[in-house]
Amino acid sequence: NAGVTQTPKFQVLKTGQSMTLQCAQDMNHEYMSWYRQDPGMGLRLIHYSVGAGITDQGEVPNGYNVSRSTTEDFPLRLLSAAPSQTSVYFCASSALGNQPQHFGDGTRLSIL
Amino acid sequence: EDKVVQSPLSLVVHEGDTVTLNCSYEVTNFRSLLWYKQEKKAPTFLFMLTSSGIEKKSGRLSSILDKKELFSILNITATQTGDSAIYLCAVTGLDSWGKFQFGAGTQVVVTP
C-alpha cells in the first residue's frame, strides 16, 4: 500500500505566487489533516477534515485553503505565498478521530 | 484551548543510557494521548494511551499515562544510536474529534 502520498517533495516559490500541495491516501480514511513543522515548534495544525465535504480550521489556518471533494484527496492551497510560510508541510490521515495518524513524507517549501 | 508541553526540548545521552521524556497536557474531555518518533521524514506512531496507570511497552520503549496529574512519560532503556530522533506527543479530546494538538517535541541524540 502507498499509504499517504504527498507531492511535490520540494518546492521553491516567489512571494505572491500561489500553489497547491497535493495529498492522497489509499486507506479509505475519513480523517485527514495538514500540519506545518518549523524548528522547535512541533507540528501545528493548519486545517483538518472529518470526511468528504467537511473541513475545519486548525491552529494556523491563515493564508491557506483546503477542500475535500473525495475521501482520498485533501489538497492544501497557498493563496499568496509569503516568506513566513516557508516550512515543512505534512499531510496525515486516520481511520477514526482519535486513532493514530499515518503521515506522508512531507513537502519542503521555501518562499523567497 | 488544548495545550501540550514536552520536556526537555533536547538532550544528548550515551549509548546504553536510559532516557525519560515528559509530556504534560491540558485538553477538554481528554480522549487519548499519542507518542510518535520522527527521524528524517514522517513521524511514525509508537503508542496510544487512553487509560491511566496502564503501561504500554514495545521492546526497549515504554509509556504510561497519569490522567489525574495530566502527564505522560516515554521511557527508552539501553539506548542505541538508532533511537536518535524527535519524539512527539499529541492529544485529542471528545470535543476535538479528529483534531490533534502536538507538543514541540523532544530532540534526542544518542552518541556512540
Instruction: Write the secondary structure of B13-70 as one string of H (helix), E (strand) and C (coil).
Output: EECCCCEEEEEEEECCCEEEEEEEEECCCCEEEEEEECCCCCCEEECCEEEEEECCCC
Q: Which three cell numbers stand for residue B89?
A: 506527543
pLDDT by residue for chain A (112 residues), tens digit each? 679 999 999 999 999 999 999 999 999 999 999 999 998 888 999 999 999 999 999 999 999 999 999 999 999 999 999 999 999 999 999 998 878 999 999 999 999 9
* Residue from A4, A98, A107 whose CB has the most chain B CBs within 10 Å, to mutate: A98
- Measure the CA–CA gap between A98 and A95, rounded to whole angstroms: 9
Interchain CB contact of B72 with A (< 8 Å):
no
Q: Do B45 and A50 touch (CB under 8 A)?
A: no
Q: Do A106 and B42 touch (CB under 8 A)?
A: yes
| From A59, A98, A104, residue closest to B97, measured CB to CB | A98
Mark the ranges of chain B whose per-residue pLDDT is less than 50.
none
Amino acid at A11: Q
Q: Do A42 and B104 touch (CB under 8 A)?
A: yes
Q: Could you give the C-alpha distances from A44 to A32, A58, B41, B60, B72, in angstroms and in order?
A: 14, 8, 16, 29, 20
Q: How many CB pairs below 8 Å do chains A and B form together?
A: 60
